[in-house]
């Protein structure tokens, strides 16, 4: 979404997952009784495909070593060139840490929640709790006069001062899912670390946040200074490029900032109830959605684990998201737009230009492919993965651009590790073969992202490694596993 540049019939026909890869690995495929709505993916079978083993012949030990090495570098590596995780003291609730977009020198709910998801999947409780503590200490809006109260402001400077006082749904969604997994992996503690209660609270807010209005400037916490957007843009690689272009053209930089009178803002739920979709932002005047925010694999779990009164909504939302993927992506390219209307048509961006496949859009192929891996409910996801991998492969497997028009015209010259990594996750839904294998090979051979752009590339890279090795899983907890084993034996 734009903030990476300037600021972030239930159920459908089930499709069986082939047991061939499992048999090839010498594992028996137990006969498991189907239950309505469970699908045919890993949720029902308990089998998580290791694409590196299936298509590249890499052992689980090799994959574990690669993941561990990436985690060490991105979380505990050199602070100037490698790490995006930084611990910064402690408070009464314990250690504090943030994930930073190094190039923009800020912490985002997107990255904080990604870091928490990585930590819970890899059983790193200290890092998980420290990130969750920092997010609640700094990012959680508690001032009742701010209409986003109860949400997490999406961007902060690393010193804990805000760069925004409004929320972005992608971070809240990953907060919820990582907290549910933490409750099942480690059990619930008290207060901030009662993970289940915290997840339930956020998830209820996503759907039931009241309509609240106010006129800025707003505060994050009572007693804070009011937040006023500065006249000068926050330093970033994009701004430096724009400044260089302005200087070359003899134009002033930064451009003149016209300060308008503040207007009232109304904030409501993060979902559009009528269309059963996650919104682009909860501010009511900005309508529409972002395909990369749609996480049907998570919604299925929320329809089982979340507050009872909302479970039917999330079950329907999962199916709506699958239809959105099939409808809004380019019919020849499989590329998804960074903005869509609730009618599932691409819409113009904030600059008035047609919606494009942008930075947020990298994640969409991973979203539908993980959904296919965990649930295998929609055969259209295979079509989409084949389509996008075929298009990008034809562009050059090691050179395809990281931004495109939906019909396939490149809008950049950069080949980004994060986008390549997310495209490799498409192998869960794609037809196995040379194209899918080439993407997996590129991911396997890729060095851990470092340097100025290591934040988004690195987070997506590490999660993609975890997905493709079968180490990014539904964490159900011992009691749930026993219960499901009994059900499967019926």
pLDDT in tens, the chain (490 residues): 334 433 332 233 233 333 333 333 333 333 334 456 899 999 999 999 999 999 999 999 999 999 999 999 999 999 999 999 999 999 999 999 999 999 899 999 999 999 999 999 999 999 999 999 999 999 999 999 999 999 999 999 999 999 999 999 999 999 999 999 999 999 999 999 999 999 999 999 999 999 999 999 999 999 999 999 887 666 666 666 666 776 777 777 666 655 567 899 999 999 999 999 999 999 999 999 999 999 999 999 999 999 999 999 999 999 999 999 999 999 999 999 999 999 999 988 766 788 999 999 999 999 999 999 999 999 999 999 999 999 999 999 999 999 999 999 999 999 999 999 999 999 999 999 999 999 999 999 999 999 999 999 999 999 999 999 999 999 998 655 444 544 444 4
Residues 63 and 148 in one domain: no
Residues 435 and 478 in one domain: yes
Catalytic residue among 110, 319, 381, 457: 110
Q: Is residue 448 part of a domain?
A: yes
Catalytic residue among 38, 360, 378, 476: 360
Residues 338 and 410 in one domain: yes
Residues 365 and 355 in one domain: yes
Q: Is residue 255 part of a domain?
A: no
DSSP code string of 68-126:
HHHHHHHHHS-TTTT--EEEEEEETTEEEEEEEETTTTEEEHHHHHHHHHHHHHTT-HH
Residues 202 and 350 in one domain: no
Q: Is residue 302 part of a domain?
A: no
Containing domain of residue 119, as a range?
85-227+262-287
Helix (H, G, I), strand (E, B) or coil at 146: coil
Active site residue 360: yes
Residues 106 and 222 in one domain: yes
Q: Is residue 240 part of a domain?
A: no
Residues 52 and 154 in one domain: no
Residues 381 and 438 in one domain: yes
Residues 353 and 474 in one domain: yes
Mark 429-458 as b/e (b = at least 16 C-beta within 10 Å).
Answer: bbeeeebbbbbbebbbebebbbeebbbbbb
Residues 359 and 419 in one domain: yes
Residues 202 and 321 in one domain: no
Q: What pTM was computed for the model?
A: 0.89
Q: What's the number of domains the chain is made of?
A: 2
Q: Is residue 51 part of a domain?
A: yes
Active site residue 129: no
Q: Is residue 305 part of a domain?
A: no
Q: Is residue 235 part of a domain?
A: no
* CATH assignment at residue 484: 1.50.10.10
Q: Is residue 248 part of a domain?
A: no
């Amino acid at each position: 979404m734009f903030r990476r540049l300037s600021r972030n019939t239930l159920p459908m026909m089930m499709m069986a997952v082939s047991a061939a890869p499992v048999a090839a690995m010498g594992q028996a495929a137990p006969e498991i009784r189907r239950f309505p709505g469970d699908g045919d993916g890993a949720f029902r079978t308990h089998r998580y495909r290791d694409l590196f083993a299936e298509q590249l012949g890499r052992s689980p030990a090799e994959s574990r070593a690669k993941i561990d090495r990436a985690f060490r570098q991105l979380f505990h590596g050199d602070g100037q060139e490698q790490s995006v995780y930084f611990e910064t003291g402690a408070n009464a609730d314990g250690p504090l840490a943030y994930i930073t977009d190094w190039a923009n020198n800020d912490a985002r709910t997107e990255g904080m929640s990604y870091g928490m998801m990585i930590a819970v999947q890899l059983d790193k409780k200290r890092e998980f709790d420290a990130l969750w503590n920092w997010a609640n200490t700094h990012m959680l809006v508690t001032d009742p006069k701010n209409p986003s109260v109860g949400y997490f402001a999406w961007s902060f400077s690393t010193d804990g001062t805000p760069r925004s006082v409004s929320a972005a749904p992608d971070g809240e969604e990953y907060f919820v899912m990582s907290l549910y997994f933490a409750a099942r992996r480690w059990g619930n503690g008290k207060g901030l670390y009662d993970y289940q209660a915290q997840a339930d609270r956020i998830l209820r807010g996503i759907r039931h946040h009241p309509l609240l209005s106010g006129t800025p400037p707003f505060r994050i916490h009572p007693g804070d200074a009011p937040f006023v957007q500065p006249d000068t843009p926050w330093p970033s690689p994009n701004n430096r490029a724009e400044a260089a272009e302005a200087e070359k053209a003899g134009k002033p930089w930064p451009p003149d900032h016209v300060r308008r009178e503040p207007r009232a803002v109304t904030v409501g739920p993060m979902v559009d109830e009528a269309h059963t979709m996650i919104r682009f932002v909860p501010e009511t005047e900005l309508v529409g959605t972002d395909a990369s925010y749609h996480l049907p694999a998570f919604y299925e779990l929320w329809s089982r684990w979340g507050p009872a009164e909302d479970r039917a909504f999330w079950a329907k939302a999962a199916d709506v998201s699958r239809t959105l993927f099939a409808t809004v992506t380019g019919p020849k390219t499989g590329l998804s737009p960074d903005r869509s209307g609730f009618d599932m048509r691409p819409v113009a961006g904030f600059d008035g230009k047609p919606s494009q496949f942008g930075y947020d859009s990298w994640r969409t192929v991973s979203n539908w492919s993980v959904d296919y891996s965990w649930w295998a409910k929609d055969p259209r996801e295979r079509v989409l993965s084949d389509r996008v991998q075929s298009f990008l492969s034809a562009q050059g497997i090691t050179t395809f651009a990281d931004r495109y028009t939906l019909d396939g015209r490149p809008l950049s010259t950069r080949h980004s590790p994060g986008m390549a990594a997310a495209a490799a996750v498409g192998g869960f839904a794609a037809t196995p073969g040379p194209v899918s294998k080439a993407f997996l090979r590129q991911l396997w051979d890729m060095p851990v992202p470092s340097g100025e752009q290591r934040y988004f590339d690195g987070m997506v890279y590490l999660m993609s490694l975890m997905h493709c090795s079968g180490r990014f899983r539904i964490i159900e907890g011992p009691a749930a596993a026993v219960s499901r084993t009994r059900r499967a034996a019926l």
